[in-house]
Structure 1
Protein backbone atom coordinates (compact mmCIF):
# COMPACT_ATOMS: atom_id res chain seq x y z
CA UNK A 1 0.00 0.00 0.00
CA UNK A 2 1.35 3.39 -0.93
CA UNK A 3 1.99 5.71 2.00
CA UNK A 4 2.45 8.94 0.09
CA UNK A 5 3.28 10.39 -3.32
CA UNK A 6 1.93 8.79 -6.50
CA UNK A 7 -0.49 5.90 -6.56
CA UNK A 8 -3.44 5.40 -4.24
CA UNK A 9 -2.88 6.12 -0.56
CA UNK A 10 -4.50 3.95 2.10
CA UNK A 11 -2.73 5.11 5.24
CA UNK A 12 -0.42 7.78 6.63
CA UNK A 13 3.31 7.99 7.05
CA UNK A 14 3.91 9.33 10.56
CA UNK A 15 4.86 5.98 12.08
CA UNK A 16 3.06 7.08 15.24
CA UNK A 17 -0.29 6.77 17.02
CA UNK A 18 -2.04 9.12 14.65
CA UNK A 19 -5.15 8.76 12.51
CA UNK A 20 -7.09 10.85 10.01
CA UNK A 21 -10.87 10.89 10.15
CA UNK A 22 -12.13 11.61 6.63
CA UNK A 23 -15.73 12.54 5.85
CA UNK A 24 -16.94 12.23 2.26
CA UNK A 25 -19.72 14.76 1.66
CA UNK A 26 -22.25 15.01 -1.17
CA UNK A 27 -25.34 14.91 1.07
CA UNK A 28 -26.13 14.81 4.78
CA UNK A 29 -25.32 18.44 5.55
CA UNK A 30 -27.91 18.42 8.33
CA UNK A 31 -25.62 16.10 10.34
CA UNK A 32 -22.41 18.07 9.92
CA UNK A 33 -22.96 20.61 12.75
CA UNK A 34 -23.30 17.75 15.26
CA UNK A 35 -20.17 16.09 13.84
CA UNK A 36 -18.27 19.36 14.19
CA UNK A 37 -19.44 19.69 17.79
CA UNK A 38 -18.23 16.18 18.64
CA UNK A 39 -14.87 16.82 16.98
CA UNK A 40 -14.44 20.08 18.88
CA UNK A 41 -15.22 18.46 22.23
CA UNK A 42 -12.55 15.83 21.56
CA UNK A 43 -10.00 18.35 20.28
CA UNK A 44 -9.91 16.39 17.03
CA UNK A 45 -9.33 17.66 13.51
CA UNK A 46 -10.87 15.95 10.50
CA UNK A 47 -10.78 16.18 6.72
CA UNK A 48 -13.98 16.81 4.77
CA UNK A 49 -13.88 15.68 1.13
CA UNK A 50 -16.69 17.67 -0.48
CA UNK A 51 -18.15 17.68 -3.96
CA UNK A 52 -18.05 21.05 -5.67
CA UNK A 53 -21.79 21.01 -6.25
CA UNK A 54 -22.46 20.38 -2.54
CA UNK A 55 -20.02 23.13 -1.57
CA UNK A 56 -21.78 25.60 -3.87
CA UNK A 57 -25.12 24.78 -2.27
CA UNK A 58 -23.83 24.92 1.32
CA UNK A 59 -21.62 28.02 1.63
CA UNK A 60 -22.37 28.56 5.32
CA UNK A 61 -21.42 24.99 6.24
CA UNK A 62 -18.23 25.38 4.22
CA UNK A 63 -17.35 28.47 6.26
CA UNK A 64 -18.19 26.69 9.50
CA UNK A 65 -16.00 23.68 8.66
CA UNK A 66 -13.09 25.92 7.64
CA UNK A 67 -13.48 28.17 10.70
CA UNK A 68 -13.19 25.11 12.95
CA UNK A 69 -9.74 24.45 11.41
CA UNK A 70 -10.67 21.25 9.65
CA UNK A 71 -9.28 20.42 6.22
CA UNK A 72 -11.56 20.70 3.18
CA UNK A 73 -10.50 18.58 0.22
CA UNK A 74 -11.72 17.42 -3.18
CA UNK A 75 -14.43 14.81 -3.89
CA UNK A 76 -14.95 15.88 -7.52
CA UNK A 77 -17.52 18.39 -8.71
CA UNK A 78 -20.31 15.83 -9.09
CA UNK A 79 -20.71 12.49 -7.30
CA UNK A 80 -20.31 10.46 -10.47
CA UNK A 81 -18.56 7.23 -11.44
CA UNK A 82 -15.02 8.41 -12.16
CA UNK A 83 -14.12 4.95 -13.51
CA UNK A 84 -16.19 5.79 -16.58
CA UNK A 85 -14.57 9.18 -17.26
CA UNK A 86 -11.67 10.00 -19.55
CA UNK A 87 -8.57 11.62 -18.05
CA UNK A 88 -9.54 15.10 -19.26
CA UNK A 89 -13.00 14.72 -17.74
CA UNK A 90 -11.53 13.56 -14.44
CA UNK A 91 -9.25 16.56 -14.31
CA UNK A 92 -12.08 18.94 -15.22
CA UNK A 93 -14.20 17.54 -12.38
CA UNK A 94 -11.34 18.06 -9.96
CA UNK A 95 -10.59 21.57 -11.21
CA UNK A 96 -14.23 22.64 -10.94
CA UNK A 97 -14.38 21.43 -7.35
CA UNK A 98 -11.00 23.00 -6.62
CA UNK A 99 -12.27 26.39 -7.78
CA UNK A 100 -15.35 26.19 -5.55
CA UNK A 101 -13.30 25.10 -2.53
CA UNK A 102 -10.77 27.88 -3.09
CA UNK A 103 -13.53 30.48 -3.41
CA UNK A 104 -14.99 29.32 -0.09
CA UNK A 105 -11.79 28.81 1.91
CA UNK A 106 -8.97 30.67 0.18
CA UNK A 107 -7.02 27.40 0.10
CA UNK A 108 -6.27 25.10 -2.83
CA UNK A 109 -7.27 21.48 -2.33
CA UNK A 110 -4.44 18.95 -2.72
CA UNK A 111 -6.10 15.62 -2.01
CA UNK A 112 -8.82 13.74 -3.89
CA UNK A 113 -11.13 11.03 -2.56
CA UNK A 114 -13.02 9.22 -5.34
CA UNK A 115 -16.82 8.88 -5.21
CA UNK A 116 -17.87 5.26 -4.65
CA UNK A 117 -14.27 4.45 -3.73
CA UNK A 118 -13.54 3.72 -7.38
CA UNK A 119 -9.95 3.17 -8.47
CA UNK A 120 -8.09 1.98 -11.54
CA UNK A 121 -4.55 2.71 -12.77
CA UNK A 122 -5.53 5.27 -15.43
CA UNK A 123 -7.85 7.08 -13.01
CA UNK A 124 -5.16 7.30 -10.33
CA UNK A 125 -2.66 8.49 -12.95
CA UNK A 126 -5.04 11.23 -14.14
CA UNK A 127 -5.57 12.44 -10.58
CA UNK A 128 -1.83 12.41 -9.83
CA UNK A 129 -1.17 14.28 -13.09
CA UNK A 130 -3.56 17.00 -11.88
CA UNK A 131 -1.27 17.47 -8.88
CA UNK A 132 -3.43 15.58 -6.40
CA UNK A 133 -2.80 12.70 -4.04
CA UNK A 134 -5.37 9.90 -4.36
CA UNK A 135 -6.88 9.11 -0.97
CA UNK A 136 -8.52 5.81 -0.11
CA UNK A 137 -8.86 4.42 3.44
CA UNK A 138 -7.74 1.61 5.72
CA UNK A 139 -10.75 1.62 8.09
CA UNK A 140 -14.22 1.77 6.53
CA UNK A 141 -17.21 2.49 8.77
CA UNK A 142 -19.59 1.48 5.94
CA UNK A 143 -21.85 4.05 7.59
CA UNK A 144 -23.61 4.92 4.33
CA UNK A 145 -25.55 1.69 4.86
CA UNK A 146 -26.81 3.29 8.11
CA UNK A 147 -26.16 0.40 10.51
CA UNK A 148 -26.71 0.73 14.26
CA UNK A 149 -24.31 3.29 15.81
CA UNK A 150 -22.65 0.59 17.93
CA UNK A 151 -21.75 -1.33 14.77
CA UNK A 152 -19.91 1.73 13.47
CA UNK A 153 -18.09 2.14 16.79
CA UNK A 154 -16.99 -1.51 16.79
CA UNK A 155 -15.83 -1.37 13.16
CA UNK A 156 -13.52 1.52 13.97
CA UNK A 157 -12.22 0.39 17.34
CA UNK A 158 -11.50 -3.18 16.17
CA UNK A 159 -9.65 -2.11 13.04
CA UNK A 160 -7.90 1.13 14.00
CA UNK A 161 -4.11 1.17 13.73
CA UNK A 162 -1.24 3.65 13.60
CA UNK A 163 -1.59 5.95 10.56
CA UNK A 164 -5.15 4.76 9.80
CA UNK A 165 -7.38 6.69 7.42
CA UNK A 166 -10.91 6.27 8.79
CA UNK A 167 -13.70 6.81 6.25
CA UNK A 168 -17.04 8.27 7.33
CA UNK A 169 -20.08 10.01 5.85
CA UNK A 170 -22.55 12.44 7.45
CA UNK A 171 -25.36 10.11 8.56
CA UNK A 172 -27.53 9.93 11.67
CA UNK A 173 -25.86 6.72 12.96
CA UNK A 174 -22.43 8.31 12.41
CA UNK A 175 -23.40 11.33 14.50
CA UNK A 176 -24.53 9.01 17.30
CA UNK A 177 -21.38 6.86 17.05
CA UNK A 178 -18.82 9.65 16.69
CA UNK A 179 -18.51 10.78 20.35
CA UNK A 180 -17.81 7.20 21.48
CA UNK A 181 -15.33 6.65 18.63
CA UNK A 182 -13.45 9.85 19.43
CA UNK A 183 -13.41 9.05 23.15
CA UNK A 184 -12.09 5.57 22.41
CA UNK A 185 -9.36 6.88 20.12
CA UNK A 186 -8.34 9.46 22.72
CA UNK A 187 -8.28 6.80 25.42
CA UNK A 188 -5.97 4.65 23.30
CA UNK A 189 -3.64 7.60 22.75
CA UNK A 190 -4.38 8.34 19.11
CA UNK A 191 -3.93 11.87 17.81
CA UNK A 192 -6.63 12.80 15.30
CA UNK A 193 -5.18 14.99 12.58
CA UNK A 194 -5.90 16.18 9.06
CA UNK A 195 -4.89 14.23 5.99
CA UNK A 196 -2.19 16.83 5.31
CA UNK A 197 -0.64 16.19 8.72
CA UNK A 198 -0.95 12.42 8.46
CA UNK A 199 0.86 12.38 5.11
CA UNK A 200 3.51 14.97 5.93
CA UNK A 201 7.12 13.85 5.92
CA UNK A 202 8.59 13.34 9.42
CA UNK A 203 10.44 16.66 9.42
CA UNK A 204 7.16 18.42 8.64
CA UNK A 205 5.17 16.74 11.40
CA UNK A 206 3.42 19.14 13.81
Structure 2
Protein backbone atom coordinates (compact mmCIF):
# COMPACT_ATOMS: atom_id res chain seq x y z
CA UNK A 1 0.00 0.00 0.00
CA UNK A 2 1.70 3.22 -1.10
CA UNK A 3 0.68 6.74 -0.19
CA UNK A 4 1.95 9.87 -2.01
CA UNK A 5 1.01 13.34 -0.82
CA UNK A 6 2.27 16.88 -1.62
CA UNK A 7 0.68 19.26 0.86
CA UNK A 8 1.61 22.73 2.01
CA UNK A 9 -0.34 22.78 5.23
CA UNK A 10 1.86 21.19 7.91
CA UNK A 11 -0.96 20.10 10.20
CA UNK A 12 -2.95 18.54 7.40
CA UNK A 13 0.13 16.71 6.23
CA UNK A 14 0.77 15.33 9.70
CA UNK A 15 -2.82 14.19 10.01
CA UNK A 16 -2.69 12.43 6.66
CA UNK A 17 0.57 10.69 7.57
CA UNK A 18 -0.88 9.44 10.83
CA UNK A 19 -4.01 8.19 9.09
CA UNK A 20 -1.98 6.46 6.39
CA UNK A 21 0.27 4.82 8.96
CA UNK A 22 -2.76 3.55 10.85
CA UNK A 23 -4.24 1.93 7.78
CA UNK A 24 -0.90 0.49 6.78
CA UNK A 25 -0.29 -1.03 10.21
CA UNK A 26 -3.75 -2.53 10.31
CA UNK A 27 -3.37 -3.92 6.83
CA UNK A 28 0.01 -5.56 7.41
CA UNK A 29 -0.99 -8.09 10.00
CA UNK A 30 -3.86 -7.97 12.45
CA UNK A 31 -4.86 -10.67 14.86
CA UNK A 32 -7.22 -10.09 17.73
CA UNK A 33 -9.76 -12.41 19.29
CA UNK A 34 -9.45 -14.85 16.45
CA UNK A 35 -9.90 -12.29 13.65
CA UNK A 36 -7.08 -12.76 11.16
CA UNK A 37 -6.26 -10.54 8.22
CA UNK A 38 -3.67 -12.67 6.41
CA UNK A 39 -1.53 -11.12 3.71
CA UNK A 40 0.84 -12.06 0.95
CA UNK A 41 4.51 -11.41 1.62
CA UNK A 42 7.28 -9.86 -0.35
CA UNK A 43 10.15 -12.08 -1.45
CA UNK A 44 11.98 -11.24 1.76
CA UNK A 45 9.26 -12.10 4.24
CA UNK A 46 6.96 -14.91 5.34
CA UNK A 47 3.61 -15.16 3.65
CA UNK A 48 0.08 -16.23 4.37
CA UNK A 49 -2.04 -16.99 1.34
CA UNK A 50 -5.75 -16.35 1.51
CA UNK A 51 -6.62 -15.50 -2.09
CA UNK A 52 -5.28 -16.01 -5.59
CA UNK A 53 -5.47 -13.53 -8.45
CA UNK A 54 -8.91 -11.94 -8.77
CA UNK A 55 -8.82 -11.88 -12.56
CA UNK A 56 -10.69 -14.77 -14.10
CA UNK A 57 -13.24 -17.02 -12.40
CA UNK A 58 -11.01 -19.68 -10.87
CA UNK A 59 -11.45 -20.70 -7.24
CA UNK A 60 -10.02 -23.30 -4.87
CA UNK A 61 -12.25 -25.36 -2.61
CA UNK A 62 -10.42 -26.68 0.44
CA UNK A 63 -11.41 -29.28 3.01
CA UNK A 64 -9.97 -29.73 6.50
CA UNK A 65 -10.00 -33.19 8.08
CA UNK A 66 -8.92 -33.79 11.66
CA UNK A 67 -11.09 -36.64 12.89
CA UNK A 68 -13.78 -39.18 11.98
CA UNK A 69 -14.24 -41.61 9.13
CA UNK A 70 -17.83 -41.23 7.93
CA UNK A 71 -17.98 -37.84 6.14
CA UNK A 72 -14.78 -37.80 4.11
CA UNK A 73 -15.54 -40.56 1.59
CA UNK A 74 -19.02 -39.33 0.59
CA UNK A 75 -17.54 -35.88 -0.07
CA UNK A 76 -14.69 -37.39 -2.08
CA UNK A 77 -17.23 -39.44 -4.08
CA UNK A 78 -19.23 -36.28 -4.82
CA UNK A 79 -16.15 -34.35 -5.95
CA UNK A 80 -15.24 -37.19 -8.31
CA UNK A 81 -18.76 -37.27 -9.73
CA UNK A 82 -18.65 -33.50 -10.32
CA UNK A 83 -15.13 -33.57 -11.75
CA UNK A 84 -13.89 -31.10 -9.13
CA UNK A 85 -10.28 -31.08 -7.92
CA UNK A 86 -9.58 -29.59 -4.51
CA UNK A 87 -6.99 -29.33 -1.76
CA UNK A 88 -7.39 -31.38 1.43
CA UNK A 89 -5.62 -30.20 4.56
CA UNK A 90 -5.08 -33.21 6.77
CA UNK A 91 -4.03 -33.64 10.35
CA UNK A 92 -1.23 -36.22 10.06
CA UNK A 93 -2.43 -38.08 13.14
CA UNK A 94 -5.76 -38.57 11.32
CA UNK A 95 -4.02 -39.51 8.07
CA UNK A 96 -1.95 -42.10 9.91
CA UNK A 97 -5.13 -43.81 11.07
CA UNK A 98 -6.87 -43.60 7.67
CA UNK A 99 -4.32 -44.51 5.00
CA UNK A 100 -7.07 -45.86 2.73
CA UNK A 101 -8.84 -42.49 2.61
CA UNK A 102 -5.54 -40.70 2.04
CA UNK A 103 -4.84 -43.03 -0.89
CA UNK A 104 -8.26 -42.30 -2.32
CA UNK A 105 -7.63 -38.55 -2.11
CA UNK A 106 -4.36 -39.01 -3.98
CA UNK A 107 -5.81 -41.38 -6.57
CA UNK A 108 -8.59 -38.91 -7.37
CA UNK A 109 -6.03 -36.22 -8.15
CA UNK A 110 -6.61 -33.93 -5.19
CA UNK A 111 -3.83 -31.98 -3.52
CA UNK A 112 -2.83 -32.66 0.09
CA UNK A 113 -1.68 -30.03 2.54
CA UNK A 114 -0.75 -30.56 6.17
CA UNK A 115 -2.26 -29.34 9.41
CA UNK A 116 0.66 -30.62 11.43
CA UNK A 117 0.49 -33.77 13.51
CA UNK A 118 -1.16 -33.12 16.87
CA UNK A 119 -3.52 -30.30 15.84
CA UNK A 120 -2.30 -27.98 18.59
CA UNK A 121 -2.52 -24.21 18.57
CA UNK A 122 0.89 -23.16 17.28
CA UNK A 123 0.60 -19.82 19.04
CA UNK A 124 0.90 -21.73 22.32
CA UNK A 125 4.03 -23.64 21.24
CA UNK A 126 7.70 -22.73 21.22
CA UNK A 127 9.47 -22.44 17.86
CA UNK A 128 11.14 -25.84 18.25
CA UNK A 129 7.83 -27.49 19.14
CA UNK A 130 6.17 -26.09 16.03
CA UNK A 131 8.95 -27.44 13.84
CA UNK A 132 8.85 -30.81 15.59
CA UNK A 133 5.10 -31.12 14.99
CA UNK A 134 5.43 -30.25 11.30
CA UNK A 135 8.40 -32.58 10.77
CA UNK A 136 6.52 -35.41 12.47
CA UNK A 137 3.63 -34.84 10.10
CA UNK A 138 6.05 -34.75 7.19
CA UNK A 139 7.35 -38.21 8.12
CA UNK A 140 3.80 -39.58 8.19
CA UNK A 141 2.98 -38.22 4.73
CA UNK A 142 6.22 -39.65 3.33
CA UNK A 143 5.29 -43.09 4.66
CA UNK A 144 1.86 -42.72 3.05
CA UNK A 145 3.57 -41.90 -0.26
CA UNK A 146 2.10 -38.45 -0.48
CA UNK A 147 3.94 -36.20 -2.90
CA UNK A 148 5.91 -33.30 -1.46
CA UNK A 149 3.73 -31.36 0.95
CA UNK A 150 4.64 -27.68 1.22
CA UNK A 151 1.29 -26.09 2.09
CA UNK A 152 0.11 -25.89 5.67
CA UNK A 153 -3.05 -24.67 7.33
CA UNK A 154 -2.46 -23.92 10.97
CA UNK A 155 -4.78 -25.65 13.46
CA UNK A 156 -8.03 -23.68 13.73
CA UNK A 157 -6.47 -21.05 11.46
CA UNK A 158 -4.57 -19.56 14.40
CA UNK A 159 -1.24 -17.86 13.74
CA UNK A 160 0.78 -14.76 14.43
CA UNK A 161 3.91 -13.23 12.90
CA UNK A 162 6.22 -15.50 14.87
CA UNK A 163 4.38 -18.66 13.84
CA UNK A 164 4.40 -17.65 10.19
CA UNK A 165 8.13 -16.93 10.31
CA UNK A 166 8.87 -20.32 11.89
CA UNK A 167 6.80 -22.15 9.29
CA UNK A 168 8.36 -20.17 6.45
CA UNK A 169 11.86 -20.96 7.73
CA UNK A 170 11.36 -24.68 7.06
CA UNK A 171 9.92 -24.24 3.60
CA UNK A 172 6.16 -24.31 4.16
CA UNK A 173 3.57 -21.76 3.08
CA UNK A 174 0.61 -20.96 5.32
CA UNK A 175 -2.75 -21.12 3.53
CA UNK A 176 -5.71 -19.39 5.13
CA UNK A 177 -9.00 -18.71 3.30
CA UNK A 178 -10.99 -15.86 1.83
CA UNK A 179 -14.46 -17.42 2.12
CA UNK A 180 -15.58 -19.42 5.15
CA UNK A 181 -18.56 -21.73 4.73
CA UNK A 182 -18.81 -22.06 8.53
CA UNK A 183 -20.00 -25.60 7.88
CA UNK A 184 -18.44 -26.87 11.11
CA UNK A 185 -21.11 -24.93 12.99
CA UNK A 186 -23.83 -26.96 11.24
CA UNK A 187 -25.96 -23.82 10.73
CA UNK A 188 -28.19 -25.48 8.12
CA UNK A 189 -27.70 -26.37 4.48
CA UNK A 190 -29.14 -23.08 3.24
CA UNK A 191 -26.86 -21.03 5.47
CA UNK A 192 -23.76 -22.93 4.38
CA UNK A 193 -24.79 -22.41 0.77
CA UNK A 194 -25.38 -18.67 1.19
CA UNK A 195 -22.13 -18.24 3.13
CA UNK A 196 -20.31 -19.39 0.01
CA UNK A 197 -22.41 -18.12 -2.89
CA UNK A 198 -23.00 -14.63 -1.49
CA UNK A 199 -19.31 -13.99 -0.84
CA UNK A 200 -17.50 -15.77 -3.66
CA UNK A 201 -15.22 -13.99 -6.12
CA UNK A 202 -12.51 -14.97 -8.56
CA UNK A 203 -9.35 -16.21 -6.86
CA UNK A 204 -11.07 -17.13 -3.61
CA UNK A 205 -9.96 -19.98 -1.39
CA UNK A 206 -13.03 -21.50 0.24
CA UNK A 207 -12.98 -23.30 3.59
CA UNK A 208 -15.01 -26.48 4.12
CA UNK A 209 -14.58 -29.40 6.50
CA UNK A 210 -14.78 -33.14 5.86
CA UNK A 211 -14.47 -34.19 9.48
CA UNK A 212 -17.37 -35.96 11.11
CA UNK A 213 -18.28 -32.79 13.00
CA UNK A 214 -19.41 -31.16 9.74
CA UNK A 215 -22.70 -32.99 9.36
CA UNK A 216 -24.31 -30.82 6.66
CA UNK A 217 -21.44 -30.22 4.23
CA UNK A 218 -22.14 -33.28 2.12
CA UNK A 219 -25.75 -32.15 1.62
CA UNK A 220 -24.87 -28.53 0.84
CA UNK A 221 -22.06 -29.23 -1.63
CA UNK A 222 -24.03 -30.45 -4.68
CA UNK A 223 -26.03 -27.25 -5.01
CA UNK A 224 -23.00 -25.06 -4.20
CA UNK A 225 -20.98 -26.71 -6.96
CA UNK A 226 -23.89 -26.55 -9.39
CA UNK A 227 -24.45 -22.84 -8.74
CA UNK A 228 -20.75 -22.01 -9.01
CA UNK A 229 -20.46 -23.89 -12.29
CA UNK A 230 -23.55 -22.06 -13.54
CA UNK A 231 -21.84 -18.75 -12.76
CA UNK A 232 -18.82 -19.77 -14.79
CA UNK A 233 -16.42 -20.65 -12.00
CA UNK A 234 -13.83 -23.40 -12.43
CA UNK A 235 -12.16 -25.35 -9.65
CA UNK A 236 -8.43 -25.89 -9.08
CA UNK A 237 -6.07 -26.82 -6.27
CA UNK A 238 -4.50 -24.11 -4.14
CA UNK A 239 -1.12 -24.67 -5.79
CA UNK A 240 -2.64 -24.25 -9.25
CA UNK A 241 -4.54 -21.15 -8.13
CA UNK A 242 -1.39 -19.33 -7.06
CA UNK A 243 1.12 -20.79 -9.55
CA UNK A 244 2.86 -18.38 -11.89
CA UNK A 245 0.74 -15.43 -10.85
CA UNK A 246 1.64 -11.95 -9.71
CA UNK A 247 -0.16 -11.21 -6.48
CA UNK A 248 -0.59 -8.19 -4.26
CA UNK A 249 1.98 -8.17 -1.48
CA UNK A 250 2.89 -6.56 1.79
CA UNK A 251 5.88 -7.24 3.98
CA UNK A 252 5.18 -8.88 7.32
CA UNK A 253 7.48 -7.18 9.85
Tell me the TM-score range normalised by the shorter chain. Answer: over 0.9
User: Quick check: 1:167 aligned with 2:210?
Assistant: no
Following superposition, the deviation at residue 3 of structure 1 comes to: 7.4
Q: Which residue of 1 aligns with 2:227?
A: 184
Structure 1 residue 37: deviation in Å? 1.6
Q: 1:69 aligns with which of 109, 130, 137?
A: 109
Question: So what's the TM-score if we normalise by structure 1?
Answer: 0.93
1:26 alignment partner, one of 55, 59, 66: 66
In the other structure, the counterpart of 1:150 is 190
Tell whether the 8 Å contact from 1:137 to 1:165 is kept in structure 2 after alignment: yes
Does the 8 Å CA contact 1:3/1:11 hold for their aligned counterparts?
no
More helix by share: 1
Change (3 A) 1:13 1:91: farther
2:161 to 121, 125, 140: 121
Structure 1 runs (4+) deviating above 4 angstroms are none
Deviation, 1:47, is 0.6
CA distance in 2, matches of 1:101, 1:194: 18
The aligned counterpart of 1:2 is 40
Which residue number corresponds to residue 89 of structure 2? 49
Higher-Rg structure is 2
Shift of 1:191: 1.1
Contact 2:64 2:209 in 1 (8 A): yes
Relative to structure 1, is the Cα distance of residues 196 and 83 closer, same or farther in structure 2, using a 3 angstrom cutoff? same
Q: Is residue 111–residue 133 contact of structure 1 (8 Å, CA) maintained in 2? A: yes
Using the alignment, how far apart are the partners of 1:104 and 1:4 within structure 2?
33
- Alignment partner, residue 149 of structure 2: 109
For normalisation by structure 2, the TM-score amounts to 0.76
Secondary structure in 2 aligned to 1:105?
coil
State how far apart, in whole Å, the 2-side matches of 1:102 and 1:19 are.
28
In the comparison of the two structures, how many residue pairs are matched?
A: 203
1:151 Cα deviation (Å)?
0.7
Q: State the Cα distance separating 1:15 from its structure 2 match.
A: 2.9
* Contact 1:4/1:199 (<8 A) preserved: no
- In 1, Cα distance between equivalents of 2:165 and 2:48: 9
2-structure distance, mates of 1:106, 1:12: 24
Change (3 A) 1:68 1:126: same
